[in-house]
Amino acid sequence: NAGVTQTPKFQVLKTGQSMTLQCAQDMNHNSMYWYRQDPGMGLRLIYYSASEGTTDKGEVPNGYNVSRLNKREFSLRLESAAPSQTSVYFCASSATYNEQFFGPGTRLTVL
Amino acid sequence: GESVGLHLPTLSVQEGDNSIINCAYSNSASDYFIWYKQESGKGPQFIIDIRSNMDKRQGQRVTVLLNKTVKHLSLQIAATQPGDSAVYFCAESGPPPTGGGNKLTFGTGTQLKVEL
């Protein structure tokens, strides 16, 4: 099992460009999450999907949109990237109220 | 110590010693607590978790202690090894939401450095 996979691993954008971060899990988990991690800080929840067909805002949702494509896949979209969105983005999944398993991250720089 | 808030940035220990990483939380309704290890350039890796109906839980070389009276969580690593060098995060969540999922709130992390 690959666990949680994320693409791309690295990305550089110019201000105003858009992009979609992809995430997939093969553990048959119901819940999936998107976090961002800034230097010297913990992870902050952007959006989550408790189950297929549902999505909810987390702590820092502004500037982002998500799509739960199916049970396996959960994407994060930046419609108009800003330098403040320079960060490392992590996707995670969990079997409902249990530990979350994280992907390797996407390192995004917005110029 | 670390909190879902403040943190002790760096903890240095000698190889073979025991390490204790602390975490304070403020939400009295917190029901689930978890520790993650994050190595440089990688995603967080699950270490151990504990629910609010327990005071202590042990894993392989790790122990988590929960003191609900003072809202304090600690991670103990026995016989610390160079491979334990990483940033350690505590996280907590409230009671299970009716819609499912598990919204974790993370602390800011503690850097553990193991000296040879």
Structure confidence at residue B32 (pLDDT):
93
B110 touches chain A (CB under 8 A): no
Structure confidence at residue B3 (pLDDT):
46
pLDDT confidence tier of residue B100, bands split at 50, 70 and 90: confident
Structure confidence at residue B5 (pLDDT):
45
B25 touches chain A (CB under 8 A): no
**Closest residue on chain A to B108 (Cα):** A42
The identity of residue B92, as a single letter, is E
- Which residues are within 8 A (CB) of B114 and not within 5 positions of it... i.e. 6 or more apart? B12, B13, B14, B15, B80, B81, B82, B84, B85
Mean pLDDT, rounded, for B57-73: 96
Report pLDDT digits (tens) over B16-58: 999 999 999 988 889 999 999 999 999 999 999 999 999 999 9
CB distance B103–A48 less than 8 Å? Answer: yes
CB B72 within 8 A of CB B6: no
In whole angstroms, give the CA distance from residue A46 to residue A77.
Answer: 11
CB distance A44–B89 less than 8 Å? Answer: no
Residues of chain A with pLDDT under 70: none
Whether B1 shows a pLDDT value over 60: the answer reads: no
CB A102 within 8 A of CB B42: no
Structure confidence at residue A39 (pLDDT):
82
B44 touches chain A (CB under 8 A): yes
Structure confidence at residue B8 (pLDDT):
52
CB distance B101–A48 less than 8 Å? Answer: yes
A37 CA to centre of own chain: 11
